[in-house]
Amino acid sequence: MSKILIKAQQQPVYNLNGTGTTSMAYVLRPVRYTTMNADDIVNYCVANSVVPKAYLSAAMIAFAQCIENFLLNGHSVEFPNLGIFSLTSSGISEADINKVGVEQVHKLNVRFLPCSQLKAEVEAVTLEFDGIYDIAGEVVVGDRGDGTPKSYKYYKKVRRGQMGVSGSSTEPGPSTGSVPSTSSGAFRSGLVETDSEDEA
């Protein structure tokens, strides 16, 4: 049985309780440990099969190129035991038949539709609460290419009844980044861009 940790992360939320404004709230999110890249997947397959690594690496590259080629030429592509990739479009509607054309399309989007087997396996996952994380500060990591700074928030784990933007007591917990030198015990646990907001 698979298990996913769920954390409550403090962040700005737009239109909370229909207020039409942005306010601080706790948003539940799955804890993500790492991002598995192609090399990680190949190494895992090598360790759990008798197929040589060179063959698996070549097959993965060919498989990815095949999916990309069909997807970008108007086909839906099924990824075995996972789901179907396809392209959708977003744009504006037009009532006048004489004005309808590709000019109404703003952009193409990649859509993934999970298969019924994957959906069932996700439904069967056991959820476990990891804890509550308050915003402890933010760090600038560069710029966005247009002169504006790119910054990320970092978080501290707190106890129930002691939540807040400041003055929260911390609990020991795993950190996915370096620990800032602060007296509040804050640590980076899943850096999040400062301009990201959820709508209630």
Helices and strands, number each (H, E), in the chain:
3, 9
Instruction: Give the max Cα distance, the chain.
Output: 66
The pLDDT, as a whole number, for residue 153 is 77
The pLDDT, as a whole number, for residue 170 is 38
Q: Check residue 150 and report its DSSP letter.
A: E
Say if CB 168 and CB 160 are below 8 A apart: no
Say if CB 185 and CB 167 are below 8 A apart: no
Give the pLDDT band of residue 143 (cuts 50, 70, 90): confident
Share of the chain above pLDDT 70, in %: 79
Domain boundaries, the chain: 3-35+125-199
The pLDDT, as a whole number, for residue 161 is 62
pTM above 0.85, yes or no: no
88, containing H or E segment: strand 83-91
Return the percent helix, strand and coil in the chain, to nearest 5: 20, 40, 40
Does 137 have pLDDT greater than 90?
Answer: no
